[in-house]
Amino acid sequence: MTRGPTWFNITSLVAGFSFLYLPILLLVIYSFNESRLVTVWGGFSTKWYASLLQNDQLLDAAWVTLRVAFASATLATIIGTIAALVLVRSGRFVGRSLFSGMIFAPLVMPEVILGLSLLLLFVAMDYSRGFWTVMLAHTTFASCYVAVVVQSRLVGFDKSIEEAAEDLGCPPVKTFFLITLPIILPGVIAGWMLAFTLSLDDLVIASFTTGPGATTLPMKIYSQVRLGVTPEINAVCTILVVLVTMGVIAASIATKRQQVQKERDERAAFGAEG
């Protein structure tokens, strides 16, 4: 029995999504505003995107952000994948459940605390803050997200596939790169994209851990907004929204494919005669 959507359902849906996306939509619309005043519509124009290209400060900040995101996502993917492998594979060892719980902790830890503690650490180490400290700080929390994503892929992994490779004469390390990694690759890629997106839009932790010469884009935008919103900011935010949306879509496609692949593997392992 099927029912059409009731008026109540449609209204809730529209209200809910408006609540979520109307502000972003407004931001995108006003980025094409001719007028210099952010709140007054003065006709369609792309001139703020053009002037953005002249704004070296913003471009520098964007370049720093991209470098930080790329480096921290890559490092976090390596660390997170190793952590996931150990937690899923190594069987029981003392403190296993403590460790797997601690993997999740930074996911729920307030960013302010994470940022402050990292700042204190870098100060205590007497390490000059800048690009590297931001990158390390982002790696720290992103590796937890990667570990969680990769772990879900590894749980359904048939261990005998690796045993088969070793049985056929392949040493364990080579087995990891030839067999295990290709099979869990969708999860690893999804983890990388998640880490990249998280680093791209982080403000709090970056503000705590950065130093001179390493201002990220979210920090730059935040500091400019305090002096008054310009349509240029709207333009740069629109570009960010597009980037992040693309990242999320790509990650969800990878996850979806991973799911399909996983089902296929399960059918491959326990398949009925067809």
Partner 1 sequence: MAKKSIGPVRRAYSPWDDPEKAPFIEFRNVTKKFGDFTAVNNLSLKIYEREFFALLGGSGCGKTTLMRMLAGFETPTSGQIFLDGQDLAGIPPFKRPSNMMFQSYALFPHMSVEKNIAFGLKQDKLPASEVDARVAEMLRLTKLEQFAKRRPHQLSGGQRQRVALARSLAKRPKVLLLDEPLGALDRKLREETQFELMNIQEELKMTFLIVTHDQEEAMTVADRIAVMDKGELVQVATPAEIYEAPNSKFVADFIGDINLIEANVIEKSDDGTRLRSVADNFSIDSDQVTDAAVGDRVWYAIRPEKVRIAQGRREKGVPNRIDGVVWDIAYLGDMSIIHSKVGDDDGDTLRATFANVSRMVENPITWDDEVVMSFDRDAGVILKG
Residue partners of 217: CB distance under 8 A and separation at least 6? 58, 61, 62, 64, 65, 200, 236, 240
Q: Is there binding between residue 166 and partner 1 (CB under 8 A)?
A: yes
Give just the sign of the alpha carbon dihedral 268, 271, 273, 274. Answer: negative
Stretch binding partner 1 (CB under 8 A), from 26-34, 143-151, 168-176, 208-216: 168-176
Q: Is there binding between residue 126 and partner 1 (CB under 8 A)?
A: no
Q: Is there binding between residue 267 and partner 1 (CB under 8 A)?
A: yes
Q: Is there binding between residue 272 and partner 1 (CB under 8 A)?
A: yes
Identify any residues that bridge with 169 across adjacent strands, giving them in sequence order: none
Query: 112-117: which pairs have CB atoms within 8 A and are 24 or more residues apart?
Result: 112/204, 114/140, 114/141, 114/205, 115/204, 115/205, 115/206, 115/207, 115/208, 115/209, 116/208
Stretch binding partner 1 (CB under 8 A), from 29-37, 60-68, 153-161, 226-234: 153-161
Query: Least separation, in Å, of the C-beta of 264 and partner 1?
Result: 4
Q: Is there binding between residue 37 and partner 1 (CB under 8 A)?
A: no
Stretch binding partner 1 (CB under 8 A), from 18-26, 78-86, 126-134, 163-171: 163-171
Cα–Cα distance for residue pair 240/174, rounded to 1 Å: 40
Stretch binding partner 1 (CB under 8 A), from 14-22, 67-75, 154-162, 199-207: 154-162
- The residue from 94, 98, 168, 227 that contacts partner 1 (CB under 8 A) is 168
Residue count, binding to partner 1 (CB under 8 A) = 27
- The residue from 40, 172, 223, 257 that contacts partner 1 (CB under 8 A) is 172
Stretch binding partner 1 (CB under 8 A), from 57-65, 119-127, 130-138, 160-168: 160-168
Query: Least separation, in Å, of the C-beta of 30 and partner 1?
Result: 48
Provide the token pair at 8. 């109540």
Residue partners of 21: CB distance under 8 A and separation at least 6? none
Helices (H), the chain: 7-30, 47-54, 56-89, 96-108, 111-125, 131-155, 159-167, 172-175, 181-200, 204-209, 217-226, 231-270
What is the contact surface with partner 1 in residues (CB under 8 A)? 158, 160-161, 163-172, 179, 182-183, 261, 264-265, 267-274
